[in-house]
Structure 1
Amino acid sequence: MITIEHLTKRYGAQVAVSDVSFTCQPGTVTGFLGPNGAGKSTTMRSLVGLATATSGTATIAGRAYQDLPNPGRQVGVLLDAGAQHAGRTGREVLTLSAMTLGVGRQRVDDVLGQVGLAGRPAGKRLGNYSLGMRQRLGLATALLGDPQVLVLDEPANGLDPEGIFWMRGLLRGFADRGGTVLLSSHLLHEVEAVADQLVVISGGRIVAQGTKSELLADTGGTLVRGPDRALLAKALETAGIGVSPGPDDALVADAEALAVGQAVAAAGVVVTELRPAGGAGLEDLFRSLTSSDSGNGQQVQEVLA
């Protein structure tokens, strides 16, 4: 199990992450989402001992990564698929890792087959690997020690559609066998397809977390959009209808569609979209949580309540 508790990391005066807390349970895939610079990589680096937290803790099975005996046998990590010697072959990279971890040569053959690099690809030098092949090798390295936990940052980067589908099955199978997966990715549709729970970070703070079904459920209310957002909000508030930020430039009105339509019609405000809110998918949720004009994290979480 992964446990992040009140994690804060500062670089001088800059706060990279602030009071971040969440857990990843065995048997689940956790999608860790956020825009560039939100604090995802800092959190993951702190978890695997590559950064030292200013305060708070990040543990795996109740222990800091550096305190785990032979941590590569318990935690598989892929943070940068390009961090390998370009002159070595795929098999050489895995063989050296196997020697470090204390696993047998047969395990090298096993994971090469598992990630689709058996045969000729294993004998190619990494300098001749495509980005997708390097990603597969990175996953092979993460799986080499037969760990119970995977920490993966953008593992689908560079994979073709077939490769992405393959990776989805690999991660789902790992979790279904009792493993714990923390997955950071910008491929929102793929995260939505494989994740059991979601953690969204923006500006170094967690703005939403919960099971996929909870966060993507129909939240009620009516989504309304028009060319003048401020005028639209004023018309609804004048009619006594509460409003909250919605996806992109939309608003979520706390009323049925008929009441919303009557209110804006009475005010003479132009509407371009009017429909039930919620249940629109991970992409809309992500935009509403991380958009610069959607308010702070607490305000947005109230939309989900």
Structure 2
Amino acid sequence: MITVEHLTKRYGPHAVVDDVSFRCEPGTVTGFLGPNGAGKSTTMRMICGLTPPTSGGATVAGRPYRQLANPGREIGVLLDASAQHAGRTGREALALAARTMGVDRRQVAAKLDLVGLNAAAAKRRVGAYSLGMRQRLGLALALLGDPRVLILDEPANGLDPEGIFWMRGVLRDFADRGGTVLLSSHLLREVEAVADRLVVIGAGRVVAQGGKDDLLAGTGTLVRARDPRALRLTLDRAGLPATAGTDGGLVVRAEAEAVGQAAADAGLVLTELRPAGSGGLEQLFLTLTAGTSTKEAVK
């Protein structure tokens, strides 16, 4: 179980994370989504005790990360696949971690096999690894202590399609055996395929959270007009953020009545006005984060 309560991080006057709260339950994969600079990585670093929060807090299995006697046995973390000593071999990196956590050394070979790093790869120095190989090694390290919780930031970066499919299976199996997974990724289709719950963050604040199926069931209102440019301006003036739909038109995060009233007040002729239906996670993401910055936050 991961519990995040009113987590906030400020750098001077700038709030990178602003009053974020959510829970990740055992037996589930929670997709943690948002544009670049939305505060995802900072939130995950605060959960893992790497960045002190300005206010609020987070616990894993009921305790803050820093209070866990042997964190690697409780929570597996992969926040940066390159955060390994480049001069060590893959096997050495795992062996050292096993010794630190008090894990049977036989688990080193087992985890290398699980993540698809063969004997030749295990003997190579990490500095010579591709990004995909470092991701596999990072996942092996996260799983080494047989934890109950996984926190993973962009774990599929650098993996080929086969590797992405393989990782999806590993995470799904982990959750199905009662584990808790918090997964941040820009690969929305993969998140949609594996996640049970979603937390969407924009500009440092949670803009939506809940069961994946429930969130995907209501992605807004699809609207088209004879004058698309005038429609866009009208929606902006009415404070109804809109994004380009995957099937054309504009998708508005509002009820059809509010959209229709704004168009009527502006004298616009609409050619279509209906629930957007299921445009998948990509459309949900674009709708929920409309108007938030897609640029990296500057600290």
What TM-score do you get using the length of structure 2 for normalisation?
Answer: 0.86
SS of alignment partner, residue 181 of structure 2? strand
Percent of residue pairs bearing the same amino acid type: 66
- The within-5 A match list for 1:63-142 is 63-142=63-142
- 2:36 counterpart letter in structure 1: N
SS of alignment partner, residue 135 of structure 1? helix
2:51 aligned partner: 51
Q: What is the RMSD of the two structures over their aligned residues, measured on CA atoms?
A: 2.7
- The within-5 A match list for 1:233-248 is 244-248=240-244
Following TM superposition, by how much is the alpha carbon of 1:45 offset from its aligned partner in structure 2, in angstroms? 0.3
User: Residues of 2 paired with 1:225 and 1:157: CA distance?
Assistant: 40
2:276 aligned partner: 277
Q: Residue by residue, what CA displacement relative to the aligned partner does 1:4-46 show, whole Å, maximum 9, x if unpaired?
A: 0001111222211010000000000000001111100110000
User: Residues of 1 paired with 2:126 and 2:209: CA distance?
Assistant: 38
**1:217 and 2:217 aligned:** yes
Say how many residue pairs are matched. Answer: 283
2:172 aligned partner: 172
2:290 aligned partner: 291
Q: Residue by residue, what CA displacement relative to the aligned partner does 1:149-178 show, whole Å, maximum 9, x if unpaired?
A: 000000000000000000000000000000
Structure 2: state its 5+ residue gaps.
294-299
1:181 aligned partner: 181
Please tell me whether the aligned partners of residues 256 and 275 of structure 2 are also in contact (alpha carbons under 8 angstroms): no
Pick which of 108-117 and 120-129 moved more.
120-129
Aligned in 2, Cα 1:149/1:225: closer, same or farther, shift over 3 Å? Answer: farther
Following TM superposition, by how much is the alpha carbon of 1:248 offset from its aligned partner in structure 2, in angstroms? 2.9
- Give the structure, 1 or 2, with the largest relative contact order (CA under 8 Å, sep 6 or more): 2
Aligned in 2, Cα 1:39/1:220: closer, same or farther, shift over 3 Å? Answer: closer
User: Residues of 1 paired with 2:144 and 2:232: CA distance?
Assistant: 56
User: Residues of 1 paired with 2:222 and 2:16: CA distance?
Assistant: 36
Structure 1: state its 5+ residue gaps.
295-305
User: Residues of 1 paired with 2:78 and 2:268: CA distance?
Assistant: 55
Aligned in 2, Cα 1:227/1:145: closer, same or farther, shift over 3 Å? Answer: farther
- 1:289 counterpart letter in structure 2: L
Please tell me whether the aligned partners of residues 78 and 139 of structure 1 are also in contact (alpha carbons under 8 angstroms): yes
1:299 aligned partner: none
Please tell me whether the aligned partners of residues 219 and 284 of structure 2 are also in contact (alpha carbons under 8 angstroms): no
Aligned in 2, Cα 1:246/1:106: closer, same or farther, shift over 3 Å? Answer: same
SS of alignment partner, residue 162 of structure 2? helix
Following TM superposition, by how much is the alpha carbon of 1:219 offset from its aligned partner in structure 2, in angstroms? 5.4
Please tell me whether the aligned partners of residues 103 and 145 of structure 1 are also in contact (alpha carbons under 8 angstroms): yes
Please tell me whether the aligned partners of residues 244 and 251 of structure 1 are also in contact (alpha carbons under 8 angstroms): no
User: Residues of 1 paired with 2:112 and 2:98: CA distance?
Assistant: 12
Aligned in 2, Cα 1:135/1:246: closer, same or farther, shift over 3 Å? Answer: same
Aligned in 2, Cα 1:154/1:226: closer, same or farther, shift over 3 Å? Answer: farther
**1:41 and 2:41 aligned:** yes
User: Residues of 1 paired with 2:19 and 2:168: CA distance?
Assistant: 31
Aligned in 2, Cα 1:268/1:145: closer, same or farther, shift over 3 Å? Answer: closer
Please tell me whether the aligned partners of residues 232 and 242 of structure 2 are also in contact (alpha carbons under 8 angstroms): no
SS of alignment partner, residue 42 of structure 1? helix
